A and B are shown apart, each in its own frame.
Chain A
Amino acid sequence: MDRYECNGCSYVYDESRGDIHNGYPAGTLFSALPDDWCCPDCAVREKPDFVKLEETAA
Chain B
Amino acid sequence: MMTQTLVTETPAAWKDGKRGLWMMGVLWPALPLISAALALSTGMGLFWWLTPVVIYGVLPLLDRLVGEDRVNAPESAVAALENDRYYRLATFLFIPVQYICVIGGAWLAVSGGLPALDILGLAVSVGLVSGAGINTAHELGHKRENLERWLARITLAPAMYGHFYVEHNRGHHVRVATPEDPASSRLGESFYAFWPRSVWGSLTSAWHLEKVRLERQGKSVWNWRNDNLQSWAMTLVLFGGLALWLGPIVLPFLIFQGFIGFSLLEVVNYLEHYGLVRQKEASGRYERCKPEHSWNSNHTVTNLMLYHLQRHSDHHANPMRRYQALRHFEQAPQLPSGYAGMIVVAMIPPLWRSLMDKRVLAHYQGDVTRANIHPPVREKILAKYGAAQPQTLEA
| Contact present for A42 and B318 (CB under 8 Å) | yes
| Contact present for A24 and B173 (CB under 8 Å) | no
The answer to whether the Cβ of B289 comes within 8 Å of any Cβ in the partner chain is: yes
| Range for the number of chain A residues in contact with chain B | 10 to 19
| Contact present for B215 and A23 (CB under 8 Å) | yes
Sorted from nearest, which 3 A-B pairs have the closest CB atoms?
A23-B216, A43-B173, A9-B320
Q: A42-B318, A44-B318 are in contact. Are A7 and B216 (CB under 8 A)?
A: no
- Chain A residues close to B by CB (< 8 Å): 7-10, 20-24, 38, 40-46, 49
| Contact present for A22 and B144 (CB under 8 Å) | no
Residues of B within 8 A of A10 (CB): 3-4
| Contact present for A24 and B216 (CB under 8 Å) | yes
Q: A7-B2, A10-B4, A43-B173 are in contact. Are A22 and B317 (CB under 8 A)?
A: no
| Contact present for B213 and A22 (CB under 8 Å) | yes
| Contact present for A43 and B169 (CB under 8 Å) | yes
Q: Which of B214, B215, B285, B289 contacts A44 (CB 8 A)?
A: B289
Could you tell me the distance in whole angstroms from the C-beta of A25 to the nearest C-beta in chain B?
Answer: 9
| Contact present for B318 and A9 (CB under 8 Å) | yes
| Contacts A/B (CB < 8 Å), 10 sampled | A7-B2, A7-B3, A9-B2, A10-B3, A20-B217, A23-B216, A40-B170, A41-B144, A44-B289, A44-B316
In the assembled complex, the Cα of A44 lies from the Cα of B313 at a distance in Å of 13
| Contact present for A8 and B318 (CB under 8 Å) | yes
| Contact present for A43 and B216 (CB under 8 Å) | no
Could you tell me the distance in whole angstroms from the C-beta of B210 to the nearest C-beta in chain A?
Answer: 11
| Contact present for A22 and B216 (CB under 8 Å) | yes
In the assembled complex, the Cα of A23 lies from the Cα of B170 at a distance in Å of 14
Q: A9-B320, A22-B213, A23-B213 are in contact. Are A43 and B2 (CB under 8 A)?
A: no
